[in-house]
Homo-oligomer: A and B are copies of this chain.
Amino acid sequence: MSQSAPTHNSTVDDLVRDLVERRIRMHQIPSDLSAEEAAEVRRRALEEQASVSLDHMRRYSFDVDVASSRNCENLIGVAQVPIGIVGPVPVRGDTVEDEVYVPLATTEGALIASTNRGCAALRAAGGARVYVEDVGMTRAPVFRTSGIDESRRFVAWIEEHEDEIRDLARATSRFLELVSIRPFVFSTTVFVRFRFQSGDAMGMNMATIACDRIVTNLIEPSTGVHCTALSGNYCVDKKPAAVNFQEGRGKRLFAEVEIPAEVLSRTLKTNPADLVEVQYRKNLLGSIAAGSSGFNAHFANVLAGFFIATGQDLAHVVDGSTGVTFVEERPNGAAYFSVFLPTVPLGAIGGGTGLATQSEALKLLGVAVDPDRPGQAVMRLAEILAATVLAGELSLMAAFTSRDLASAHERLGRGPADATEG
């Protein structure tokens, strides 16, 4: 081969060919290619194989090196989800005392318009009072013993070694702090639910790494008890669960507002009695009838939009959207309206938060991690989320009372009503 080594381009072409003809797999692109090139090779192979164009998937502006190493293996491009803006959301919390514009990423018409109407009502009512508890992130390995006696001894051992366990956790990250240990015994099966503070990070990865160290380096060798799985579903992650409702996981959110009669009728086209009626027959009785653990109208919609826009783990919408809405009549034709979300995993750093648009969204929200004040950034994020969920819930509930739901669907989101729920 006199002609010298193949040019880079011919390598790309060759690799595309290799992929199409299945001589190599998607994850076997040689590592001397840049992430950008590797993505292009995969895209072109897919385009050729499936006779499609992936031109739009090409149009990303995030740092592909970072994204492909931290967020997404076998990267081929981007999913573009439209972002709309709601607000300003008037937030009155321990961290935030401000009006904030909130970006929501969604593909479902009417969600933005409806939430925006809720924000108008909140502003007219003097703002959303919010309150967030940093409950901590949990991870619960599961262990197998020979019987109840060994389970008892094992639990006793764990409780006696809490200090050692705490030290081991700290050694894996300076932002990780063991808060508590909760064992739960099922005869020969022992779940040990570790709870950690994790600063501004959502914390699941940190918790998993710490648990691995604790289990592998300390618990198993010391006790001889085998760990069946590092996550024993008593954590519990990305599934609705009573233990999370009872004890919380991540952040526990409250938001409330008292809406004067005039705002109810003018902005929301409703009144307290009708809101209470929808709350009673839909959110309470309807969910009881359905055997549902969600006693709200549509927390999941706002949460999903917020999670995508701000780089949260999207599967956390499952547990994060758990919760209850409360409505009460108040004197002078006012209505008290409140939401409770007991188990919202949330991070201001890590995961998808560093990606290009997600990072912009966090900046827009004024969320900036300060290593000297760990946890402050994520608390701001949580307070804003709580107020935004309140706005969305309020508006949809009001829409039901005035039967705006379906007409909004037909108008494809043009207007103040609601379509996507719920």
Contacts and interface: CB of A to CB of B under 8 A. Distances in A.
A297 B237 CA distance: 9
B52 A187 contact: no
B236 A188 contact: no
A282 B228 contact: yes
Contacts of A361: 57, 79
Interface string A242-268: 111111000000101010000000000
Given A321-B315, A356-B56, A238 B301 contact: yes
Instruction: Count chain B CB atoms within 10 A of each CB in A228, A309, A324 and give the residue with the most.
Output: A228
Nearest to A114: B73
A114 B62 CA distance: 23
Contact of A105 (B79, B233, B237, B245): B79
Interface in A308-326: 308-309, 311, 313-315, 317-318, 321, 324, 326
Given A46-B85, A50-B363, A148-B129, A79 B308 contact: yes
Please indicate which of the listed interface residues A241, A321, A351, A360 has the most CB atoms of chain B within 10 Å of its own CB.
A360
A342 B395 CA distance: 31
Given A242-B245, A286-B236, A109 B189 contact: no
Given A46-B364, A304-B317, A278 B229 contact: yes
Interface residues of A, number: 167
A49 interface: yes
26 contacts: A26-B86, A26-B101, A56-B62, A59-B61, A59-B357, A69-B413, A70-B412, A71-B107, A73-B84, A74-B84, A74-B113, A78-B81, A78-B83, A81-B352, A107-B358, A147-B258, A189-B289, A191-B286, A208-B406, A208-B419, A233-B286, A236-B287, A239-B293, A239-B321, A242-B290, A242-B291
B414 A229 contact: no
Interface string A186-219: 1111010000000000001100110111001000
A397 to B, nearest CB: 9
Identical copies in the complex = 4
A400 interface: yes
Contact of A326 (B61, B87, B186, B326): B186
Contact of A61 (B46, B56, B336, B410): B56
Given A57-B360, A62-B56, A326-B187, A304 B295 contact: no
B360 A54 contact: yes
A231 interface: yes
A136 interface: no
A405 interface: yes
A20 to B, nearest CB: 11
A294 interface: yes
A179 interface: no
A308 B301 contact: no
A73 B26 contact: no
A284 interface: yes
A62 B57 CA distance: 10
Contact of A400 (B57, B211, B231): B231
Contacts of A52: 360, 363-364
Contact of A80 (B60, B142, B231): B60
A269 interface: no
A76 to B, nearest CB: 5
A314 B304 contact: yes
A240 B318 CA distance: 8
A78 B78 CA distance: 10
Contacts of A161: none
